[in-house]
Each structure stands twice: as C-alpha cells, then as structure tokens.
Structure 1
Amino acid sequence: MVTSWTQFIPLLAEGAKVTIAIAFLSSAVAMAVSLLIGLCRLSRFRAVRAVSAVYVEFFRGSSLLIQLFWIYFALPFIGIELPKFAAAVVAFGLNYGAYGSEIVRSSIQAIPKGQWEACTALNMKPWQTMKTIILPQAFLRMLPPFGNLLVELIKGTSLVYFITLADLTYQAMVLRNNYISWSPVIMVLLLLMYFAIASLVSMAVRLAERKMAAGRM
C-alpha cells in the first residue's frame, strides 16, 4: 500500500543509476568517435573524407531508435550478440558521435589560418600543430555545443526502455503500471529527475568552460 510519493524514490533512484551509467559511457564513446571522425573529415585523403562523410550522414539521417533496435535485435543474426547495456552504449555513442564530429570539424576550421601558417613557418609537423596549437583552441569552442549534445544524449537514453533495459524511464513505467492512480506523481518525479541530471551536466560544462577561458585548465 503506497501512502507517500517518497516510496517511489528508491526504485527510481536505481533506474537513475543505470541512466547515468549509460550516459557517461556513451558520452565517452561519442567523444572518441567525434574526435576521430571529425579529424577524418579534414583529412587530405579523399577516400578518408568520403568514408567519414558517409558515416556521419548515415547516423544523422536515420532514427536512433532503429539503430538501437538494429544493434540489439539484428546483429545476433550475424553472430554479434551484445548485452542490453552494451548495445545501448554502442548505439548512443555512434549516433551522437556523428553529431559531435561536425562540432569538432567546424571548431577546427574556425581557427584562423594564420595559426597554421605560423606553425608551418616554425617548421612544426602537422600532428604537432594539431596537438599543441589547434586542438587546445578548438576545444574551448567545442565545449558549449558538446554540453548541449550531452544533455540531448541524457534525454535520449529514455529510448532504452524499448529494449527493456531497467533505466529511469523503465522503472517509472513499472511503477505507473502497478500504481495507476499515482501516475501524475510518478510522471512528475520522472520529469524532475531527468531535469536534475541534465542541469548538473550543464553546470559542469559551464564551469569547465569558464576555467578554460581563464586559463586555469
């Protein structure tokens, strides 16, 4: 017998842990993919640029939910079977990595050409220029859009409900099915918990941006 909304918190908290874990690992994959594909998009080799462009257009142009279904339900038919959690991390990492790669590409391209020319004049190798001069400047430009992308990723994790992974949304639906009369309260709690997680991430990104701008990172 439920007598207070606080009785729902423990189960929702368990779901929130799964949501945060998916978001954290997915964002790590997405960041790595973003950097790799973003640099490939700027490669001097046409084939590399073409392959990376196809990757970006495919993952941006198709549904994230279908990508999640394909990775979890279709890959086993060709011998690749991933647990639900791993399938979710791969799907979100690859999808948001495609969006992030455009942030990386545009941020690098926004660095004035004079920076490249100065490094060339100093006889620096291209990888040295990128590592020590270009990327540190570009990263500051990347932070705000990456923060927005991460918030979108957190909200998007609710899609794992459809592969019955016990995240925050899944636990809320379980509670709602068992306590129909409490549905408005459960939905409000679900909304507030997603808002709290996203707000903490936004605050962390803004703090990192201020510290980098002040030269303390």
Structure 2
Amino acid sequence: MDWISYSKPLMEGAWVTVQLTIYSTILGAIASFVFGIGKLSHNWIAKGLSIAFIEVFRGTSLLVQLFWLYFALPVLGQQIGVDLRLPPVVAGTLALGLNIGAYGAEVVRGAIQAVPPSQHEAAKALDFTPRQVLWRISLPQAIPEMMPSFGNLAIQNLKDTALVSLISLGDLAFRAEQIRNFTQDSVTIYTMLLFMYFGMALVLTAFMKLLERSVGRWRAGRA
C-alpha cells in the first residue's frame, strides 16, 4: 500500500474535517457575539451568564469538554430519565464551537470597548437608544477590528478538530490512525496528514483574508 492508496480514505476523512470546521466555526461566531455582547450588558443576568460561559469554556480543556459532552452527558441523562446521547458529529461541533466561542467572545468585547468614547457621546447627543448605539455605531466600527483575531481562531479551530478522532468520529486524524495501525507506515501517513492539514489551513487563511477585505470595504462604504 502506498500514498496513492492512502489518498481515498484520507480524503474521506478530510471531508468530515472540513464539515466539522465549518459547522463549529459558524456556531463559534454566533456564540462569540451573543456572549461578547452579553458580557457588556447592563442586565446582570445576561452579564452573569456570559461571564460564566466564557470562564468555564476558557478555563477547562477542550478535550475534557468533548469527553463530557460525549461520555458524561448521556450518563447524566440516564440518571434523570432523559436521553441525552449525542451523535459524535454533534458532540464534536458543540465542543469545538462553544470553546472557540468563549475565546471569540473576548475578542468581540474588546473590539466593542475599543470604539472611541466620543462616538458614544455623539450618539447620546443624537438621542440614540443603547440598541441603536450598538448596531449603528459600535458594531460597524468593531467588526473590522475583530477579523484578524477571528482568522486566527478559525485556524486554531481547524487544528483542534483532530481531537474528535478520540470519540471515534471518522475525521482526517481518525482515518490516518486507522491506516497507520493497519500498515505501520507512520512516516508516509503522518507526512500526508501534515500536508493535508497545512493545505486546508492555507485555504481557510485565504478565505478569512477575503472576508476581512470585504468587511473593510463594507465599513469604508458606510463611512
């Protein structure tokens, strides 16, 4: 068996990795804005929940979060009489998305707080409501500042998908380990794995750069 024969199962695993990366990155982006804005809320319940979410998911291991969702949650469900078993792809998406969302929430919070105070003072002089200030003043200026950090988080998320192989989800890392166990050809398998992750990271980086430029043009158009 040579590298050509390895390609088909590895490509099948790569497709699972791509899907998992897309799903979890979208979930992470949503969580970033929900909890990042929530942390700045004047509502103490929303602020408290947001802080708790951020600290829990930033302060614990992604691997532990993944195992808790896949192995511990069903046991908890049995104890309370509810079926809480999650398919591997759902558990993986949730763990990755919520983890990256906790880090992204701090990016959102920091970017919004970096908007010059004079902008808020001008909005108050125009009798804007807090919601109008957020949507018309803060976010349009903050989003372009978030994009480089979001790009780094997306790349990190792609690399973190390798952990889902530990819950038997047939991603790229899982397929590679299966082939390696069968052939004992570690050099070829892990070299191919390295280049495949690198190639996917390059594509994702290029996409994030395009998105960053598009957001920059959108901001310039609003100016």
**Smaller-chain TM-score bracket:** over 0.9
The answer as to 2:194 corresponding to 1:191 is yes
1:34-76 alpha-carbon deviations (Å, 9 max, x no partner): 1000011101123332221121111111111111001011111
Q: Which residue of structure 2 lines up, in the alignment, with residue 106 of structure 1?
A: 110
Q: Which residue of structure 2 lines up, in the alignment, with residue 131 of structure 1?
A: 135
Q: Which residue of structure 2 lines up, in the alignment, with residue 11 of structure 1?
A: 9
* Cα separation, 1, equivalents of 2:141 and 2:8: 43
Q: Which residue of structure 2 lines up, in the alignment, with residue 48 of structure 1?
A: 46
Question: SS of the residue aligned with 2:32?
Answer: helix
Question: Which stretches in structure 2 are left out of the alignment for 5+ residues?
Answer: none
Q: Which residue of structure 1 lines up, in the alignment, with residue 88 of structure 2?
A: 84
Q: Which residue of structure 1 lines up, in the alignment, with residue 160 of structure 2?
A: 156
How large is the Cα RMSD of the aligned pairs? 1.4
* Cα separation, 2, equivalents of 1:216 and 1:185: 50
* Cα separation, 2, equivalents of 1:114 and 1:16: 48
**What is the TM-score normalised by the length of structure 1?**
0.94
Aligned with residue 73 of structure 1, among 65, 68, 71: 71
Question: SS of the residue aligned with 1:165?
Answer: coil
More moved, 184-193 vs 204-213: 204-213
- The alpha carbon displacement at 1:33 in A equals 0.7
Question: Which stretches in structure 1 are left out of the alignment for 5+ residues?
Answer: none
Aligned with residue 149 of structure 2, among 145, 149, 163: 145
Aligned with residue 33 of structure 2, among 35, 39, 46: 35
* Cα separation, 2, equivalents of 1:211 and 1:73: 41
More moved, 60-69 vs 130-139: 130-139
* Cα separation, 2, equivalents of 1:211 and 1:81: 40
* Cα separation, 1, equivalents of 2:68 and 2:24: 17
- The alpha carbon displacement at 1:216 in A equals 6.4
Count of matched residue positions in the alignment of Structure 1 and Structure 2: 214
- The alpha carbon displacement at 1:212 in A equals 2.7
1:139-174 alpha-carbon deviations (Å, 9 max, x no partner): 100100000001000000000011010000000001
2:197 partner letter: Y
Identity of aligned residues (%): 41
